[in-house]
């Protein structure tokens, strides 16, 4: 039986690993849209190329992953967004970057293109633009007592830039509209023609707090394309770094969420723990965030006894102190009053958008890329994936608390079972090849798709941050909450600006 | 001669209030930081901030009117005058006979009125949000404060703070349920009026959650210095108010000697430190309330004030 029996007319592209890519016609593209809209498939990503549009889909309940490619000679394709809302922003981005036209897209406004590039469709035809960009029309909300509150892109705190437009009825949010693209770095353009080392560095700079996860996603996609198997020690060290990154970020998040409810003492204690994890990472791998430590074919640094001891010490410290902080969180009535029931994300919406990470798992979507489709060494390790159904700020905090405990266990297993051996397998090039990978970052699953030229340089690379499917549902989760609770909801989602704007 | 002496002592009180107010805020900040395992800013940082702000250029919004420019001075003046009416270290100060607790309430109320207007004047959405929240809080906090004033006036037989303090010092005060209720109510009102946790967070950077800070977001330079100083003085005023009514010990009596005043000042500084420490401890242990929960909290203050008054009538008629 074929993996995607629905796609009868599709032609499988033989150069892609490990999951199949199909060249489809418009009918199959529409059929895929119908499957997505019906909830039988989940959209994992959608990206463009000069004359092709691709989508990655997850079929059924973790049955199969595939990439569908629609050649669009006249640069037009039928918009999935017309029937499947989660695709809208991805299609708007593909329009902006490649000049493809998504026909029938309900929202045709630009998304990443703020008119500041000087060119239109920089990755497509790159036509120069002379006239100034038209002002961005925000969605209206009508009603006598409504007022607008515009926040950002410059904020009072030191955070990344993003614009939030609230329509509020007194304190109650009637509509929140986000606008992003302020941190667009042109990563996909820089990737074209880059060799593997440079491309891995670029991938590690898509989102600084997820640098290990992004580099790992890119490396795994490139290795799949090249048929390269990294040595076991490298695989285990990568997982160790990924879990340290998850641990540090979750510790920071738990404190920061409490801080947004003005409960600063949690933030102070969690920040100390996060700092200790980062320092241990610096001792073990030579960089606090472990940037550029994952390489295509393996890892760039080894772990010595001093590093292992530093990690063991920090795991013991977190194990000793964190439970008391959890108790403090759980027993502070004034804090619980703020987080319970706030910013509820409907499980149906989480399923429709395919929300990964703590956002999805707090709303009942039981998906973790480490477990399924899975990648080594997680098959040899025991860990729990916490799932809750409430979908509020409190649930997202508890998912993080559960994942901190799971990561501590994983780090201990990884240190105990770390195999000896080589750190890196040499890459051999020869033919054009494609690879795709799904890696669990701390925010959720990161999709990486890469096409390599015969000389080993990157022809096209697309990295999809989990926040592409978190930001839109944040708008929905905030609806009906009060304006003053938005920072709390926002922090509990902790979506990436940089990773999203690419 | 007596008049000159009275004026001098009143002048000393007003200068002392102004001099100590930034220190109290600095002390609370430092203590909170230490409770959170942070080093915290130096104790004298608020003074440095004021000096820095006074030396800075004022940036005005294009559509800011004369009101926006004059409000900081009005706010500071009314708050300072209100603080001069509180017997901080001595009862029977010269000005204390010219206004009672109701005048203090009204002065603080007018300061808030100007601040809310100034928040609206710049025309930003944050100013509007802050002003609307502030007025919501005030509409519940002020009646509560008035009820508490009535309770104290009924107990002491006067609404003059000096008389209240002297009555509290005398043996006839005793322990009363009404006073306990009034104390709780007053503490809640004080937290709300001074924009402290759980009502507002003075340290937040989140524009959308601000109350007091949202109203003053557009202020800069000497205007901001005036508003900051007024906020420092207001915090000191409330701590002094609570101290002089509920802990009036060592308060210098009317026609006191120099030694009495020195003792009074020393005790006053001690009371401020104790009040600041309690505030820092409470703020560390509590999260901020959801905005729509505030009416419950302030409603409780109002109910406490009401109950305290009722109880007095009931206990008298029985």
Instruction: Give the model's pLDDT for residue A394.
Output: 96
Question: How many other C-beta atoms can be found within 10 angstroms of the C-beta atom of residue A139?
Answer: 11
The alpha carbon of residue A148 is apart from the nearest alpha carbon of chain B, in Å, by 7
ipTM of this predicted structure: 0.89
Nearest residue of chain A to residue B126 (CA atoms)? A149
Instruction: Give the model's pLDDT for residue A1.
Output: 46
Residue A73: band (very low, low, confident or very high) from pLDDT cuts 50, 70, 90: confident
Which residues from chain A sit within 8 angstroms of residue B292, using beta carbons?
171, 482
Question: How many other C-beta atoms can be found within 10 angstroms of the C-beta atom of residue A385?
Answer: 16
Q: What is the pLDDT of residues B172-191, one digit of tens each?
A: 777 888 999 999 999 999 99
DSSP annotation string for B113-151: HHHHHHHHHT--HHHHHHHHHHHHHHHHHHHHHHHHHHH
Does residue B197 belong to the interface with chain A, where contact is any CB pair within 8 Å?
Answer: yes
Phi, psi of A103 (to 5 degrees): -75, 130
Residue of A139, A67, A83 lying closest to A352 (CA atoms) = A83
Q: What is the pLDDT of residues A389-445, one digit of tens each?
A: 999 999 999 999 999 999 999 999 999 999 999 999 998 888 999 999 999 999 999
Which positions 151-180 of A are in contact with B (Cβ < 8 Å)?
Answer: 151, 155-158, 170-171
The runs of H, that is alpha helices, within A165-263 are: 187-191, 196-203, 211-226, 232-260
- For residue B67, pLDDT over 50 is answered with yes
Which residues from chain A sit within 8 angstroms of residue B284, using beta carbons?
264-265
DSSP E strands in A25-96: the ranges are: 41-48, 52-59, 64-71, 76-78
Two structure tokens written together for B151: 């309770």
- Ramachandran sector of residue A287 (left: φ over 0; alpha: ψ -120 to 50; beta: rest): beta
**A124 membership: H or E segment, kind and range:** none
Residue contact B198–A262, C-beta within 8 A: yes
Instruction: Give the model's pLDDT for residue B99.
Output: 85
> Are A298 and A216 spatial neighbours (Cβ–Cβ below 8 Å)?
no
Cα–Cα distance list, A434 to A190, A212, A225, A296, A376 (Å): 18, 21, 5, 14, 20
Sequence spans of domains, chain B: 2-314
Phi, psi of B68 (to 5 degrees): -60, -40
Best interface-test mutation with A: which of B208, B209, B210 has the largest number of A CBs within 10 A?
B208
DSSP E strands in B144-281: the ranges are: none
Does residue A449 belong to the interface with chain B, where contact is any CB pair within 8 Å?
Answer: no
Q: Tokens 């993996």 label which residue?
A: A3
Best interface-test mutation with B: which of A165, A264, A267 has the largest number of B CBs within 10 A?
A264
Residue A2: band (very low, low, confident or very high) from pLDDT cuts 50, 70, 90: low
Question: How many other C-beta atoms can be found within 10 angstroms of the C-beta atom of residue B156?
Answer: 21
Does residue A340 belong to the interface with chain B, where contact is any CB pair within 8 Å?
Answer: no
Phi, psi of A148 (to 5 degrees): -100, 140
**Rounded to an integer, what distance in angstroms lies between the CA atom of residue A318 and that of residue B296?**
38
Residue contact A483–B284, C-beta within 8 A: no
Best interface-test mutation with B: which of A165, A265, A270, A488 has the largest number of B CBs within 10 A?
A265
Of A150, A171, A334, the CB nearest to B198: A334
Residue B98: band (very low, low, confident or very high) from pLDDT cuts 50, 70, 90: confident
Residue contact B286–A263, C-beta within 8 A: yes
Best interface-test mutation with A: which of B34, B36, B211, B290 has the largest number of A CBs within 10 A?
B290
**Rounded to an integer, what distance in angstroms lies between the CA atom of residue B61 and that of residue B79?**
25
Instruction: Give the model's pLDDT for residue B96.
Output: 82
Count of helices and strands (H, E) across chain B: 11, 0
In chain B, pLDDT over 70 holds for what percent of residues? 100
Q: What is the mean pLDDT of chain A?
A: 93
Of A156, A268, A272, the CB nearest to B207: A156
Does residue B285 belong to the interface with chain A, where contact is any CB pair within 8 Å?
Answer: yes
Average pLDDT over residues A246-255: 97
Average pLDDT over residues B92-99: 83
Q: What is the pLDDT of residues A184-223, one digit of tens each?
A: 999 999 999 999 999 999 999 999 999 999 999 999 999 9
Of B206, B292, B293, the CB nearest to A487: B206
**Rounded to an integer, what distance in angstroms lies between the CA atom of residue A469 and that of residue B85?**
59
Which residues from chain B sit within 8 angstroms of residue A170, using beta carbons?
132
Q: What is the mean pLDDT of chain B?
A: 92
Residue of B263, B249, B261, B242 lying closest to B194 (CA atoms) = B242
Does residue A268 belong to the interface with chain B, where contact is any CB pair within 8 Å?
Answer: yes
Residue contact B209–A487, C-beta within 8 A: yes
Of B125, B205, B292, the CB nearest to A149: B125
Q: What is the pLDDT of residues B252-299, one digit of tens each?
A: 988 888 999 999 999 999 999 999 999 999 999 999 998 888 999 999
Cα–Cα distance list, B211 to A99, B203, B215, B286 (Å): 45, 12, 7, 18
Which residues from chain A sit within 8 angstroms of residue B198, using beta carbons?
262, 334
**Rounded to an integer, what distance in angstroms lies between the CA atom of residue A182 and that of residue A419?**
43
Q: Tokens 């010990």 label which residue?
A: B249
The alpha carbon of residue B290 is apart from the nearest alpha carbon of chain A, in Å, by 6
Does residue B63 belong to the interface with chain A, where contact is any CB pair within 8 Å?
Answer: no
Residue of A474, A432, A438, A488 lying closest to A455 (CA atoms) = A432
> Over the Cα atoms of chain B, what is R_g?
19
Nearest residue of chain B to residue A148 (CA atoms)? B125
Helix crossing, A232-260 with A305-331: angle to 10°? 30
> Are A259 and A484 spatial neighbours (Cβ–Cβ below 8 Å)?
no
Which residues from chain B sit within 8 angstroms of residue A261, using beta carbons?
287-288
Q: What is the pLDDT of residues A76-124, one digit of tens each?
A: 999 999 999 999 999 999 999 999 999 999 998 999 999 889 999 999 8
Does residue B39 belong to the interface with chain A, where contact is any CB pair within 8 Å?
Answer: no
Of A156, A258, A483, the CB nearest to B205: A156
**Rounded to an integer, what distance in angstroms lies between the CA atom of residue B193 and that of residue B115?**
12
Q: What is the pLDDT of residues A307-366, one digit of tens each?
A: 999 999 999 999 999 999 999 999 999 999 999 999 999 999 999 999 999 999 999 999
Phi, psi of A439 (to 5 degrees): -125, 140
The alpha carbon of residue A466 is apart from the nearest alpha carbon of chain B, in Å, by 25
**Rounded to an integer, what distance in angstroms lies between the CA atom of residue A208 and that of residue A206?**
7
- Three-state SS letters, B27-82: HHHHHHHHHCCCCCCCCCHHHHHHHHHHCCCCCCCCCCCHHHHHHHHHHHHHHHHH
Phi, psi of A59 (to 5 degrees): -95, 130
**Rounded to an integer, what distance in angstroms lies between the CA atom of residue A429 and that of residue A201?**
20
Instruction: Give the model's pLDDT for residue B81.
Output: 95
Residue contact A338–B132, C-beta within 8 A: no
**Rounded to an integer, what distance in angstroms lies between the CA atom of residue A496 and that of residue B249?**
57
User: What contacts B40, CB < 8 A, 6 or more positions away?
Assistant: B29, B30, B31, B32, B33, B34
**Rounded to an integer, what distance in angstroms lies between the CA atom of residue A153 and that of residue A157?**
11
> Are B17 and B236 spatial neighbours (Cβ–Cβ below 8 Å)?
yes
> Are A102 and A91 spatial neighbours (Cβ–Cβ below 8 Å)?
yes
Question: How many other C-beta atoms can be found within 10 angstroms of the C-beta atom of residue A300?
Answer: 19
> Are A361 and A470 spatial neighbours (Cβ–Cβ below 8 Å)?
no
Count of helices and strands (H, E) across chain A: 15, 18
Nearest 5°: the CA angle A278, A282, A283 is 120
């Amino acid at each position: 039986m074929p993996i995607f029996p629905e796609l009868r007319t599709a032609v499988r592209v033989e150069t892609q690993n490990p999951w199949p890519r199909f060249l489809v016609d418009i009918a199959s593209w529409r059929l895929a849209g119908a499957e997505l809209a019906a909830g039988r498939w989940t959209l994992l990503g959608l990206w463009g190329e000069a004359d092709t549009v691709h989508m990655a889909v997850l079929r059924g309940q973790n049955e199969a992953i595939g990439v569908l490619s629609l050649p669009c000679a006249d640069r037009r394709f039928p918009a999935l967004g017309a029937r499947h809302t989660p695709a809208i922003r991805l299609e708007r981005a593909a329009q902006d970057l490649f000049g493809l036209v998504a026909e029938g897209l309900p929202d045709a406004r630009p998304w990443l293109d703020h008119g500041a590039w000087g060119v239109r469709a920089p990755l497509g035809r790159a036509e120069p633009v002379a006239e100034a960009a038209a002002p961005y029309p925000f969605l209206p909300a009508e009603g006598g007592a409504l007022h607008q509150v515009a926040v950002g892109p410059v904020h009072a705190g030191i955070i990344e830039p993003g614009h939030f437009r609230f329509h509020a009825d007194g304190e109650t949010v009637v509509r929140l509209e986000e606008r992003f693209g302020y941190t667009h770095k042109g990563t996909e353009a820089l990737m074209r023609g880059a060799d593997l080392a440079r491309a891995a560095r670029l991938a590690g700079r898509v989102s600084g707090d997820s640098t290990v996860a992004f580099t790992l996603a890119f490396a795994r996609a490139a290795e799949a394309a090249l048929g390269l198997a990294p040595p076991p020690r490298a695989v285990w060290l990568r997982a160790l770094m990924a879990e340290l990154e998850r641990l540090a970020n979750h510790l920071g998040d738990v404190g920061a969420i409490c801080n947004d409810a003005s409960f600063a003492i949690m933030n102070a204690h969690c920040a100390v723990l996060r700092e200790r994890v980062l320092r241990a990472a610096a001792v073990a791998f030579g960089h606090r965030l472990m940037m550029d430590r994952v390489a295509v074919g393996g890892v760039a640094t080894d772990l010595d006894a001093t590093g292992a001891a530093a990690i063991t010490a920090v795991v013991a410290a977190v194990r000793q102190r964190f439970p008391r902080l959890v108790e403090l969180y759980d027993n502070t009535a004034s804090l619980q009053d703020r987080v319970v029931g706030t910013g509820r994300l409907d499980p149906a919406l989480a399923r429709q958008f395919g929300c990964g990470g703590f956002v999805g798992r707090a709303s009942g979507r039981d998906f973790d890329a480490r477990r399924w489709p899975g990648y080594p060494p997680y098959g040899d390790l025991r860990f729990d994936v916490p799932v809750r159904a409430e979908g509020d700020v409190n649930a997202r905090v508890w998912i993080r608390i559960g994942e901190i405990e799971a990561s501590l266990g994983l780090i201990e297993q990884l240190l105990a079972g770390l195999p000896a051996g080589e750190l890196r397998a040499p890459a051999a090039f020869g033919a054009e090849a494609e690879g795709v990978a799904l890696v669990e970052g701390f925010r959720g699953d990161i999709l990486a798709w890469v096409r390599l030229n015969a000389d080993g340089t990157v022809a096209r690379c697309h990295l999809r941050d989990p926040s592409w499917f978190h930001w839109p549902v944040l708008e929905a989760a905030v609806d009906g909450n009060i304006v003053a609770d938005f920072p709390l909801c926002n922090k509990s989602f902790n979506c990436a600006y940089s990773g999203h704007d690419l | 001669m007596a008049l000159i002496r009275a004026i001098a002592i009143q002048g000393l009180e007003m200068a002392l209030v102004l001099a100590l107010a930034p220190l109290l805020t600095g002390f609370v900040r430092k203590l909170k930081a230490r409770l959170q395992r942070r080093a915290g800013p130096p104790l004298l940082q608020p003074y440095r901030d004021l000096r820095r702000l006074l030396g800075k250029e004022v940036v005005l919004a294009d559509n800011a009117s004369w009101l926006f420019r004059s409000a900081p001075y009005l706010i500071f003046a009314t708050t300072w005058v209100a603080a001069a009416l509180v017997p901080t270290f001595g009862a029977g100060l010269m000005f204390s006979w010219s206004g009672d607790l109701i005048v203090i309430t009204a002065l603080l109320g007018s300061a808030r009125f100007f601040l809310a207007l100034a928040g609206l004047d710049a025309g930003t959405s944050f100013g509007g949000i802050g002003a609307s929240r502030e007025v919501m809080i005030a509409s519940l906090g002020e009646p509560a404060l008035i009820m508490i004033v009535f309770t104290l006036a009924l107990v002491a037989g006067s609404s003059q703070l000096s008389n209240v303090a002297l009555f509290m010092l005398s043996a006839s005060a005793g322990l009363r349920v009404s006073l306990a209720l009034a104390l709780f109510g007053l503490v809640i009102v004080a937290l709300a009026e001074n924009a402290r946790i759980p009502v507002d967070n003075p340290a937040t950077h989140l524009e959308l959650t601000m109350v007091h800070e949202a109203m003053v977001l557009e202020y800069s330079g000497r205007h901001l210095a005036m508003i900051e100083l007024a906020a420092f003085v207001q915090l000191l005023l409330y701590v002094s108010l609570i101290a002089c009514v509920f802990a009036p010990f060592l308060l210098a009596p009317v026609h006191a000697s120099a030694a009495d005043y020195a003792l009074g000042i020393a005790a006053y500084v001690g009371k401020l430190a104790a009040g600041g420490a309690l505030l820092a401890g409470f703020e560390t242990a509590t999260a901020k309330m959801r905005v729509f929960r505030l009416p419950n909290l302030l409603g409780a203050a109002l109910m406490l004030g009401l109950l305290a008054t009722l109880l007095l009538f009931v206990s008298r008629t029985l």
